[in-house]
Structure 1
C-alpha cells in the first residue's frame, strides 16, 4: 500500500499573535504534516469529535483528533475509551485502585469505571485539529 503525502508550503518565520513585524524575514520551505503529528503511523488514527463533553479542554464538536494507540495512557491524559459498547472521549483520572473518566464540561458527570465494566483505553489524543472557517 502506498501513501501519498501532500507537502504544504510553509515559512520558517514565527507567526506573531500580537502586532506583526514589518521587518519580518521571510523564507519558504515545505513541510509534511504527517512528519509533525504522526510519530507511530501504524498505531495512529483520526477521529472526529461528536459532542461537547470536552469543550473546556478546548476540544469542540466537529474537531478532528489524532489518536495514538501505542502510547501508554497515564493519569491526566485525554483518551478515547471504549466503555460498555460505546466510544467516549474523556480525561483519565487513574489512581492505584480506580479509573475515572472525567468530562471537561460541568454539564456532564464523571464516570467511575466499575470492575464489571467492559472497558478499554483505545488510544491517547496527541493533537486536536480545528477548522476555523
Structure 2
C-alpha cells in the first residue's frame, strides 16, 4: 500500500494547468485504440492515445499513421520499412510504393479507461 496525501486546496489549479500543457500541447491530439494488435506494448482496445504530430519519428516508436485510408497504430521499423504489431499473431506490414501512407504522429502516452464514458464514444 502506498500512503500519500493529495492536496485538493488552491494548488489544484496549478496541477491542472501543468497537465494540460504537458498532455495537450498544440501539436497533440487524442485518439482511441481499437483492437488487440498493440497489447504487447500495453495499449489495449479502448485506451486513449496522446499523439504528438511534432515529434520526430525514431526507429521503434509507436506511431499512428494513415495506411491506404485507414488509421493504424503500429511500431515503426524504419530500418526495414515495416509497420509492426506488438502481437505475434499479426504479420508485419511491408510498405511499398503502392501504399498511400502518412505518419500522423508519435504515441507519447496512453490512458487506460477504467469507467465507461459515453461522451467519448
Hey, what does 2:20 align to over in structure 1?
A: 34
Normalised to the residue count of structure 2, the TM-score between the two structures is 0.81
Task: Flag as ranges the 4+ runs of structure 1 deviating above 6 A.
Answer: none
Normalised to the residue count of structure 1, the TM-score between the two structures is 0.74
Is 1:49 the counterpart of 2:25 in the alignment?
no
Higher CA-based Rg? 1
Query: 1:34 aligns to what SS in structure 2?
Result: helix
Which runs of 5 or more residues in structure 2 are unaligned?
116-121
Distance in structure 1 (CA, Å) of the matches to 2:65 and 2:51: 11
Superposition deviation, residue 27 in structure 1: 5.8
Hey, what does 2:53 align to over in structure 1?
A: 69
Aligned length: 108
The alignment's C-alpha RMSD in Å is 1.5
Is 1:93 the counterpart of 2:77 in the alignment?
yes
Superposition deviation, residue 81 in structure 1: 0.9
CA offset digits 1:75-125 (Å, max 9, x no partner): 110000111111100000001xx4110000112111011122111111110
Q: Which has the higher strand share?
A: 1
